């Protein structure tokens, strides 16, 4: 069986979806499928330009990457605004659909509703992976798709309320490649490697800085923490990173180290260098509260470090009182109290970190791919 995975993304990219797509393609191919990943030709606007995506993401070269022409005007977004992204999206959707028109395809798999819109007019074998509830074209693709894969129970519940049959939907949470995080280096070595303070307690957040991520709560928790505690923020790109830096400056927040985007290969070392890992979210966003399945959550769990997390329904699909310390969301003081509890109670920190490591063993890309393929095969293959 051959699979065409259509993804409108730059590869490699600072965005988490690039990692997720590459790891899933590798996992599908390991299950014996002949897979081709179709992506656009994009202008390089980051330091990742020109890097081999297989090497960057530590992925086996067991599938092909086909790059399709599109009108990439995103470098001009300062002048064109959202129009540049719309032109890029629509042109890739059109040209990738034209490419597929002439190909024999067993399964067409995608997270991109725009591409699936064009493809659905001449192909019936489309499978839609949903990471967020959308408005434009969303219902159309939900009806056209043979099966729908979602990353949270919250998304499934939302789709069933829209009239989509439960039998058509599979919940398959995001996952992790455990071998990438199996490093045998101690905290001191990792801090020296990354030029991090060796005489402070380090609280770490990794990932993007979108408003719905709720990272501002962690930043403001610094007002309630001692000076011997440093909050380290790893991640964030362009406009979001600048906005976050301005927020920290405007609020006059201290003891925060903002490092921006780091290569994927460095993340395991950052996690091992920390004393506590923080997963933030906000009840002000449905994406955060019900829809997300953050890959950082599984990476945190695999690091064997204690986790303090915002108490949200989406996180509780994986986390609980046995494998994390859950605190009231959107409350900096409660976040600070949770951090201090984990730092001061070594017994609790050991207990939740060990349980998290045990729990994450089942959340692998290989297991996820197998689950999805069994779901597809049930009524289709």
Q: Are 356 and 301 in contact (CB under 8 A)?
A: yes
Percent of the chain with pLDDT over 70: 98
CA dihedral 68, 141, 5, 314 (to 10 degrees): 120
Maximum Cα–Cα distance across the chain: 63
2-175+364-379 and 178-360 in the same fold: yes
Can you give the three-state secondary structure of 206-256, one letter per residue?
Answer: ECCCCHHHCHHHHHHHHHHCCCCEEEEEECCCHHHHHHHHHHHHHCCCCCE
- Count of Cβ atoms closer than 10 Å to residue 287 Cβ: 20
The DSSP annotation for 28-95 comes to HHHTT-EEEEEEE-----STTTT--HHHHTT--S-SEEEEE-----GGGHHHHTHHHHHHHHHHHHHH
Residue-range domain boundaries for the chain: 2-175+364-379, 178-360
- Separation between Cα atoms, residue 24 and residue 5, nearest integer Å: 10
> Is pLDDT of 380 > 80?
no
- Separation between Cα atoms, residue 190 and residue 185, nearest integer Å: 7
Q: Which two tokens stand for residue 48?
A: 């990742």
Which of 1, 212, 224, 260 has its CA nearest to residue 105? 1
Determine if residue 218 is left, alpha or beta; phi over 0 gives left, psi from -120 to 50 gives alpha, anything else beta. alpha
pLDDT digits (tens, 9 = 90+) for 298-319: 999 999 999 999 999 999 999 9
- Separation between Cα atoms, residue 228 and residue 275, nearest integer Å: 12
Handedness of CA 324, 329, 331, 332 (dihedral sign): positive
pLDDT of residue 77: 76
Q: How confident is the model at residue 379 (pLDDT cuts 50, 70, 90)?
A: low
Which CATH architecture describes the domain 178-360? 3-Layer(aba) Sandwich (3.40)
Q: Are 339 and 345 in contact (CB under 8 A)?
A: no
Q: How confident is the model at residue 75 (pLDDT cuts 50, 70, 90)?
A: confident
pLDDT digits (tens, 9 = 90+) for 255-293: 999 999 999 999 999 999 999 999 999 999 999 999 999
CA dihedral 13, 17, 19, 20 (to 10 degrees): -160
> Is pLDDT of 44 > 70?
no
Q: How confident is the model at residue 145 (pLDDT cuts 50, 70, 90)?
A: very high
Q: How confident is the model at residue 78 (pLDDT cuts 50, 70, 90)?
A: confident
Model pTM?
0.96
Q: Which two tokens stand for residue 377?
A: 């095969």
| Phi and psi at residue 324, to the nearest 5° | -160, 165
- Separation between Cα atoms, residue 146 and residue 128, nearest integer Å: 8
Mean pLDDT of the chain: 95
Tell me which residue has tokens 């045990």. Answer: 358
The CATH number that domain 2-175+364-379 falls under is 3.40.50.2000
Q: Are 174 and 296 in contact (CB under 8 A)?
A: no
| Phi and psi at residue 35, to the nearest 5° | -120, 140
Can you give the three-state secondary structure of 302-342, one letter per residue?
Answer: HCCCCEEEECCHHHHCCCCCCCCEEECCCCHHHHHHHHHHH
Q: How confident is the model at residue 381 (pLDDT cuts 50, 70, 90)?
A: low
């Amino acid at each position: 069986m051959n699979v065409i995975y259509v993804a409108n993304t730059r590869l490699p990219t600072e965005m988490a979806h690039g990692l997720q797509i590459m790891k899933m393609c590798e996992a599908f191919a390991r299950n014996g499928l002949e897979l081709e990943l179709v992506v656009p030709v994009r202008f390089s606007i980051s330091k990742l330009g020109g890097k081999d995506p297989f090497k960057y993401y530590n992925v086996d070269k067991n599938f092909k990457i086909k790059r399709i022409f599109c009108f990439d005007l995103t470098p001009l977004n300062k002048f064109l605004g959202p129009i540049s992204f719309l032109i890029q999206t629509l042109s890739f959707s059109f040209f990738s659909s034209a490419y597929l028109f002439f190909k024999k395809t067993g399964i067409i798999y995608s997270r991109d509703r725009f591409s699936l819109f064009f493809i659905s007019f001449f192909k019936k074998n489309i499978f839609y992976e949903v990471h967020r509830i959308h408005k434009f074209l969303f219902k159309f693709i939900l009806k056209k798709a043979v099966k729908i894969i979602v990353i949270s129970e919250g998304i499934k519940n939302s789709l069933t309320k829209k009239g989509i049959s439960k039998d058509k939907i599979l919940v398959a949470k995001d996952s992790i490649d455990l071998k990438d995080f199996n490093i045998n280096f101690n905290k001191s070595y990792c801090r020296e490697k990354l030029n991090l303070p060796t005489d402070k307690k380090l609280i770490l957040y990794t990932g993007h800085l979108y408003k719905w991520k709720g990272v501002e709560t962690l930043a403001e928790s610094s007002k309630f923490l001692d000076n011997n505690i440093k909050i380290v923020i790893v991640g964030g790109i362009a406009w979001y990173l600048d906005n976050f830096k301005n927020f920290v400056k405007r609020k006059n927040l201290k003891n925060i180290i903002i490092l921006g985007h780091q290569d994927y290969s460095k993340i395991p070392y950052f996690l091992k260098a920390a004393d506590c890992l923080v997963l933030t979210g906000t009840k002000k966003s449905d994406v955060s509260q019900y829809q997300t399945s953050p890959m950082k959550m599984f990476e945190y769990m695999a690091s064997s470090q204690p986790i303090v997390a915002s108490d949200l329904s989406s996180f509780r699909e994986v986390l609980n009182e046995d494998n994390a310390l859950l605190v009231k969301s959107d409350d900096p003081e409660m976040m600070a109290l949770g951090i201090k509890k984990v730092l001061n109670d070594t017994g609790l920190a050991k207990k939740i970190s060990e349980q998290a490591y045990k729990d994450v063993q089942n959340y692998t890309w290989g297991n996820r791919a197998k689950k999805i393929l069994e779901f597809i095969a049930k009524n289709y293959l």
